[in-house]
Amino acid sequence: MSDPIAVEVAYALPEKQRIEKLTVPKGTSALEAVERANLGRFFDELPEPSAMKLGVFGKAVPPTHELSDGERVEIYRDLLIDPKAVRRARAEKAKAERAES
């Protein structure tokens, strides 16, 4: 292995999280690291790697993103609830609570 680098691959559900530490060759892509991490053995609901949305430290990256030493690849899940709907419901609840007091 020429010029190995250390990276992490992370996936999280509300009730379960996993971070796999890997040593990969320099030039490894985000998608290649995800495939090597093989997180599907812990999470049945993981999509195929080619369909995953990926990021590095909270910033979306393409699957071809070349990793640097120390980076953490994050596998993102689709949102189940529209964030605008959640904020609207929270604001309506707060308004109702203020009206009651």
CATH number at residue 96: 3.10.20.90
Structural domain span for residue 85 = 4-100
Stretch 59-88: mean pLDDT, rounded? 89
Closest CA to 20 of 8, 29, 33, 12: 8
What ranges make up the beta strands (E) of 26-86?
Answer: 53-56, 59-61, 72-76
Q: How far apart are CA 21 and CA 74, in angstroms?
A: 12
Q: What is the pTM of this model?
A: 0.75
Which pLDDT belongs to residue 2? Answer: 72
User: Quick check: 101 pLDDT over 80?
Assistant: no
User: Quick check: 1 pLDDT over 70?
Assistant: no
Tokens of 34: 């995800």
Do the Cβ atoms of 61 and 7 come closer than 8 Å? no
> How many domains is the chain partitioned into structurally?
1
* Residue 41 Cα distances to 13, 35, 38, 56, 70, angstroms: 14, 11, 6, 22, 24
